Amino acid sequence: MSDFEFDVAILGGGPAGLSAAARAAQRKLTHVVLESAAKHANTIQQYQHRKHVMSEPGLLPLRSDIAFAAGRREAVLQAWEEGIRKTNAQIRYEAEVTAITGRQGEFSLALKAGGAVRARNVILALGVQGNPRRLAVPGDEFPCVQTGLESADAHQGETIVIVGAGDAAIENALALAVQNRVILVNRRGDFPRAKDSNVTRLRRALDAGKLECVFRTEVNLIRRSPDGSSLPYQIVLRPPEVERVVDCHRVIARLGAIAPRRFVESVGVRFADERPDSLPDLSHRYESSVPGLFIIGALAGCPLIKQAMNQGYEVIEHLSGNPIDPADHPVLEAKLRPLLDGREVDAALSLIQDSVPTFAKLKPLALRELVLASKVVPVRKGRRIFARGEYASSVFHVLQGQVQLETDAGEPMLLREGQLFGEMSLISGRPHEIGAVAGPDCLLLETPHGTIKKLARIEPSVRSYIDRVFVLRALRLMLLPRARAETIHELSTCAQIHSIASGDTLFKQGDPIDRLYLLRSGSVTLSRATSAGEAPVAYCAAGNFVDVAGCTPAVRARTVTARATVAAEALSIDYASFRKLLSSDEALQRKVQVEQEQQLAAYARMKAQPGAGDVLSFLMSNGVGEATNVLVIDELLCVGCDQCETACAQTHEGVSRLDRRAGPSFYSLHLPTSCRHCEHPHCMRDCPPNAIHRLPDGEVFIDETCIGCGNCEESCPYGVIQMAEVPPRVGLLERLLRRGPTEAAKTAVKCDMCKDLKSGPACVNACPTGAAIRIHAEDVVSLARTRASAVR
């Protein structure tokens, strides 16, 4: 040991690294934190001033010698600074490590500034955002060039050039445009990396002339302005045609961070696969494929501060010869109680992994995360788990016992241990097509949609398993309820899944009919080409066949174009196989014939009313295609009394969740800014405390555990979520004694469809003239048709 300077070297002075260092100091391990920046917690230092820092997940206890609680950025940073001082954690600032060589017991860390640090063990707590990418053009070093923005309010009346096409660039540009002249420079022609909501906000601001955006343009150089210029710097841009010089005060480069993956791989650490978001292979003690080299925090796939701090603590305990259970152990123990039966938590987790094929290939850490977010629920025999027609917010796996799926036709399907159900609603975002009833000794793992969707994004094996189950079940339920299992398996081998972006086509008019499509999520409009462009003739929602009407032997080519109204997915089978099936299955023949008749009649009716197609296009272009419940105001009846807004405010702590005046109108139909309770709620995608839920009737609501992070507000493309100061409930006595909270915290508020009112949505109920109604996306066609006949 005397040959080496440190027992442990910690790369990165963020929360994970600091917590590890503080514990090492307590355990009397010789240690050093090597932080490339000049301050601790560099990422959080770059947050905007007074930004609220969250301490999720609430269930998990904090295990660290350094204090941490949710609060303002300044308070959090100060607490850590005090923690460093009190625990005597050793940190070297501006010490960037360029290479790590050696092996356990004799690692050598080369520093950029020269020299090396030797350590027996290494902890990588680098985070994923620490190293902002710079412009790398002449003049990049001028003080006017920055890679972050602390506070937009600090700048007024300046000319600021922002370079980048991601969310950070757009958000900075929008915030600064309020009080400054802003020019956003984008190397590409669009914003593929940015959230839809940000792109929408940007386009609105561009249309309103609030800022300028130049596309397909790169930065050539930055220089000081010649004497006599009013602005101190000049940035030279290189659009496709001719060079352009912009006088400016400041340049902000928001080009993302240099991911440390290459550096980590250079040390010898293996990653799960080649995808950019894949994670390093780690043991349950956070040890990588290189013995003695540990990875914690965001780099290990745990972006939450508390988790990262706990991991720092646990690694040091492990290195001190005191391997303790992870901090989530007691939480997991409580969750898994029905499954434990004398087993240890790890054994119960292995049991889940062995019996549930969906999770067979999950890494231990990912499985723990999944179970932490899920519930293990025993269900009595005969009890209904969900009914047909109910909206879903979870998927289920059978851990023990049996479950019966009730289908419309044919025998009920019997599910056994390890099998998945509820996947159809997960994918379609629509109500359950079938019901599920518990069999004997039934124990289920119930996982929220948000968790499983996130897992499917980062773990391809989960995605492909769910898809496989979906294909088999969809073929059975929608097409061949009475077919033998082998037939379905055979057919599933030729099935394909197609993802279509909003506005793209699944097929075009005139295309040969080679596949039968079943829409599994999103919706499409079917339209025919006319002299005035495309005229919609039908709307097709998830769970339906697309243009079965065209699938008759006499028709060789598509007579309609199918265009996605929102991001959609379709399952398809080869048309030849379908025809073969059709000839041998009379029930299927009848079913297809009925659908064909209905679709052909619908096409004809729509075509007879040209205005209806226009109304349908308007509704679809405003996102009604993904709505489960949308407020539509008839302007022919609306007297502008604002009773809808007043009713909303009066029933929701004085804050109206709808803005009647805002929103588009067409054919005297008005879509006010109000929640549409989307099939796949955008707001639920990234809610750290899982505070957004969906009720069986479809209502999407935010509960009181909202921490006010604003993710949902940003994710919602329809601008229906607002961050509002809901006044705290303070009792009379507390008010008299001036105790209790005085400052209202900002939380996200949105329409909850008045789920607690027996009389239904207050906005609709309070409308005196019947102008306000709430409809489902499936009603749009009849709405379009009645509108077209009402307004001429």
Partner 1 sequence: MHASFINYRNYRYGFSALALCLGAVLAYVIDARREAQSGGTWLGYTLGTVAAVLIVYLALYGVRRRSFRSPSGSASGWLSAHIYLGVATLCIAALHCAFEFGRNVHTAAFVLLLLVVVSGGWGVYVYARYPGLISRQRGNLSRETLLEQLSKLDGRARALASTLDNRIQALVDHAIRRTHLGGGVWEQLRGRDLSAILIPDAGRGAAFAQIVSNEGQHVLIQRLAQEHAAAHDATFDARLQELLEVAGEKAVLVGKLQKDIQLQGLLQFWLYLHLPLCFGLLAALLIHVLAVFFYW
User: What is the binding site for partner 1 (CB under 8 A)?
Assistant: 632, 634-640, 643, 646-647, 650-651, 661-662, 664-668, 757-759, 762, 764-771, 773, 775, 779, 782-783, 786
- Check residue 93 and report its DSSP letter: T
CB of 642: closest distance to partner 1 in angstroms?
A: 11
- Check residue 144 and report its DSSP letter: T
Q: What does the buried/exposed string (b/e) look like for 622-634 if buried means 16 or more CB atoms within 10 Å of the residue's CB? A: bbbbbbbbbbbbb
CB of 640: closest distance to partner 1 in angstroms?
A: 7
Distances (CA, A) of 495 to 326, 424, 475, 557: 43, 16, 9, 21
CB of 638: closest distance to partner 1 in angstroms?
A: 6
For partner 1, the closer CB: 516 or 762: 762
| Cβ within 8 Å of residue 650, ≥6 positions away | 762
CB of 720: closest distance to partner 1 in angstroms?
A: 17
Element (H, E) at 499: strand 496-500
Instruction: Measure the CA–CA gap between 337 and 345, rounded to whole angstroms.
Output: 9
- Cβ atoms of 560 and 537 within 8 Å: the answer is yes
**DSSP symbols for 413-427:** EEE-TT-EE-HHHHH
Instruction: Measure the CA–CA gap between 736 and 789, rounded to whole angstroms.
Output: 61
Closest CA to 422 of 371, 459, 385: 385
CB of 207: closest distance to partner 1 in angstroms?
A: 11
CB of 768: closest distance to partner 1 in angstroms?
A: 5
For partner 1, the closer CB: 97 or 632: 632
CB of 759: closest distance to partner 1 in angstroms?
A: 5
For partner 1, the closer CB: 222 or 762: 762
Burial (0-12, 13-18, 19+ Cβ within 10 Å), 779: middle
For partner 1, the closer CB: 433 or 634: 634
CB of 174: closest distance to partner 1 in angstroms?
A: 19
Instruction: Measure the CA–CA gap between 788 and 611, rounded to whole angstroms.
Output: 5
> H helices then E strands: how many in the chain?
23, 41
Residue written as token pair 């066609």:
781
For partner 1, the closer CB: 206 or 387: 206
Phi, psi of 264 (to 5 degrees): -65, -40
CB of 615: closest distance to partner 1 in angstroms?
A: 12
Instruction: Measure the CA–CA gap between 368 and 379, rounded to whole angstroms.
Output: 23
- Cβ atoms of 219 and 235 within 8 Å: the answer is yes
User: Between β-strands 250-253 and 692-694, what pairing exists: parallel, antiparallel or unpaired?
Assistant: unpaired
CB of 760: closest distance to partner 1 in angstroms?
A: 9
Residue written as token pair 């045609």:
241
For partner 1, the closer CB: 159 or 786: 786
Degrees (nearest 5) of the Cα angle 394, 395, 400? 125
The dihedral built from the CA positions of residue 448, 449, 454 and 455, taken in this order, carries a sign that is positive
For partner 1, the closer CB: 475 or 771: 771
For partner 1, the closer CB: 211 or 352: 211
Instruction: Measure the CA–CA gap between 689 and 586, rounded to whole angstroms.
Output: 51
427: left (phi over 0), alpha (psi -120 to 50) or beta: alpha
CB of 645: closest distance to partner 1 in angstroms?
A: 11
CB of 342: closest distance to partner 1 in angstroms?
A: 52
User: Between β-strands 145-146 and 250-253, what pairing exists: parallel, antiparallel or unpaired?
Assistant: parallel
For partner 1, the closer CB: 382 or 768: 768
Q: Is the peptide bond before 57 cis (omega within 30 degrees of 0)?
A: yes
CB of 614: closest distance to partner 1 in angstroms?
A: 12
Residue written as token pair 């025919």:
528
- Centre a 10 Å sphere on the Cβ of residue 367 and count the other Cβ atoms it contains: 18
For partner 1, the closer CB: 440 or 664: 664
Read off the tokens for 755: 């789920």
Distances (CA, A) of 212 to 147, 173, 184, 255, 781: 20, 10, 6, 18, 39
CB of 757: closest distance to partner 1 in angstroms?
A: 6
Q: Number of C-alpha atoms within 13 angstroms, CB side, residue 619?
A: 38
Element (H, E) at 146: strand 145-146
- Cβ atoms of 71 and 53 within 8 Å: the answer is yes
Instruction: Measure the CA–CA gap between 250 and 233, rounded to whole angstroms.
Output: 7
Degrees (nearest 5) of the Cα angle 6, 8, 14? 125
Three-state DSSP string of 746-787: EEEECCCCCCCCCCCCHHHHHCCCCCEEEECHHHHHHHHHHH
- Cβ atoms of 715 and 728 within 8 Å: the answer is no
Beta bridge partners of 572: 496, 517
CB of 610: closest distance to partner 1 in angstroms?
A: 18
CB of 637: closest distance to partner 1 in angstroms?
A: 5
Q: Sheet harboring 568-574: ordered strands across? A: 496-500, 568-574, 515-521, 545-546
CB of 774: closest distance to partner 1 in angstroms?
A: 11
Instruction: Measure the CA–CA gap between 243 and 392, rounded to whole angstroms.
Output: 55
CB of 651: closest distance to partner 1 in angstroms?
A: 5
